[in-house]
């Protein structure tokens, strides 16, 4: 039985978050002494944006973990998709540098790697992850958001950031369709799972619609935690109003392992309204349902979902150029449609909302 604690937390007030995090650990039967040392805190540091933008894990959660485990040696690290931008800018914008100072924690870069074997389908891949995992347990600190490629980003998806720099983009280039990428993500999670000590989800303010970076903020008012990332994400789907069956990587994990038996403790899960999914997400998922394939092949040229640059917003910062796994964006920010695999990494990293998802009439109609 997997225990998942769901605790009300209505704001990012430091004392309220600290009390909620202490309660999550306690409900999961965890004492301060059981929290490992050293411990890598892995927030979602997708973009160099301030906490109030709701794109990244709020630093109050990191400080609350420190308060719950005062004697653990703590490191804070994540590897954003855009490895060209100095990571110090992320630490400053996200509030992690000042939090680390107050916590006595070290900010770390993922600049050396060890290789893990990931069995995805018929092939086994060697995937680099931060070398810190050799001796350090991970406390996963995801931000609950919708995601244009995977439907949801929470505990399982947040662990993808343990892969350093552009290797993440290269994997997007290798696993082109949402289903293929989600299948890889499920396999990667199985390989990395033993190194993850706990997952503590920032579900106080969440992002719906065009997540993970351009969506709409929604106040949910929870902190959720547990040892099993799949179980935690299933509970978060309920809280957020996303049918778990529509999140392909959770689906693949459940197909292989069966749904985990979950004991929800704490304040319980009351059904809220359904979350708004990212533009085009349902269509891209549908496009991989076998019965629709012949039809969609026929109308394939009419069925288009692709990134488009808004030149008025674009500052030519080059973040999208650097992250594109197919070198499909020129330095003048023109997208080569023939090279583009529609992974939407560019949409994810753009700090200015200058990339939107364009849908053809058919795609809009089927959404």
Residues that bind ligand SF4 (CB under 6 A): 307, 309, 314-320, 324, 326, 328-329, 333, 335, 340-346, 350, 352, 354-355
Q: Which is nearer to ligand SF4, 53 or 267 (CB)?
A: 53
Minimum CB distance to ligand SF4, residue 348 (Å): 8
Instruction: Quickly count: other Cβ atoms within 10 Å of residue 306's Cβ.
Output: 17
- Token pair for residue 68? 């719950």
How far is the first Cα of the chain from the last one, in angstroms, to the nearest whole number?
37
Minimum CB distance to ligand SF4, residue 291 (Å): 27
Instruction: Quickly count: other Cβ atoms within 10 Å of residue 101's Cβ.
Output: 10
DSSP 332: T
CA distance 189 to 232: 13
Q: Which residues of 217-232 are buried (b: 16+ CB within 10 A; e: fewer)?
A: ebebbbbbbbbbbbbb
Minimum CB distance to ligand SF4, residue 324 (Å): 3
DSSP 335: B
Strand partners, 309: 355
Q: Which is nearer to ligand SF4, 5 or 324 (CB)?
A: 324
Q: Which is nearer to ligand SF4, 198 or 303 (CB)?
A: 303
Block residue for tokens 């000590």: 197
Q: Which is nearer to ligand SF4, 60 or 320 (CB)?
A: 320
Minimum CB distance to ligand SF4, residue 32 (Å): 42
Q: Which is nearer to ligand SF4, 14 or 314 (CB)?
A: 314
Secondary structure (3-state) at 322: helix
Give the torsion sign (CA, 40, 61, 54, 217). positive
Minimum CB distance to ligand SF4, residue 266 (Å): 39
Q: Which is nearer to ligand SF4, 304 or 317 (CB)?
A: 317
Minimum CB distance to ligand SF4, residue 342 (Å): 5
């Amino acid at each position: 039985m997997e225990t998942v604690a769901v605790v009300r937390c209505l704001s990012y007030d430091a004392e309220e978050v600290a009390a909620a995090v202490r309660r999550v650990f306690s409900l999961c039967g965890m004492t301060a002494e059981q929290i490992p040392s050293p411990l890598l805190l892995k927030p979602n540091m997708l973009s160099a944006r301030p906490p109030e933008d709701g794109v990244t894990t709020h630093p109050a959660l990191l400080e609350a973990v420190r308060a719950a485990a005062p004697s653990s040696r703590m490191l804070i690290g994540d590897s954003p998709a855009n490895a060209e931008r100095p990571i110090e800018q992320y630490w400053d914008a996200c509030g992690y540098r000042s939090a680390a100072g107050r916590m006595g924690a070290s900010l770390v870069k993922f600049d050396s790697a060890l290789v893990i074997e990931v069995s995805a389908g018929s092939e086994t891949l060697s995937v680099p992850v931060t070398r810190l995992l050799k001796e350090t347990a991970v406390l996963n600190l995801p931000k609950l958001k919708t995601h244009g490629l995977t439907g949801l980003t929470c505990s399982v998806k947040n662990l993808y950031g343990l892969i350093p720099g552009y290797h993440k983009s290269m994997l997007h280039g290798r696993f082109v369709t949402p289903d293929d990428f989600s299948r890889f993500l499920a396999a990667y999670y199985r390989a990395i799972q033993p190194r993850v000590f706990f997952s503590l989800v920032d579900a106080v303010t969440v992002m719906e619609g065009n997540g993970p970076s351009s969506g709409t903020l929604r106040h949910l008012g929870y902190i959720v935690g547990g040892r099993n990332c799949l179980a935690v994400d299933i509970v978060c789907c309920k809280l957020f109003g996303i049918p778990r069956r529509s999140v392909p990587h959770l689906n693949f994990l459940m197909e292989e392992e069966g749904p985990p038996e979950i004991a929800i403790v704490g304040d319980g899960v009351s059904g809220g309204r359904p979350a708004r999914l990212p533009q085009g997400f349902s269509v891209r998922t549908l496009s991989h349902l076998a019965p629709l394939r012949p039809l969609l092949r026929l109308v394939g040229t009419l069925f288009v979902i692709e990134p488009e640059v808004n030149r008025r917003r674009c500052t030519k910062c080059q973040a999208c150029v650097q992250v594109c796994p197919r070198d499909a964006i020129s330095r003048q920010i023109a997208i080569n449609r023939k090279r583009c695999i529609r992974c939407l990494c560019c949409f994810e990293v753009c700090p200015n909302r200058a990339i939107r998802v364009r849908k053809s009439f058919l795609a809009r109609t089927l959404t």
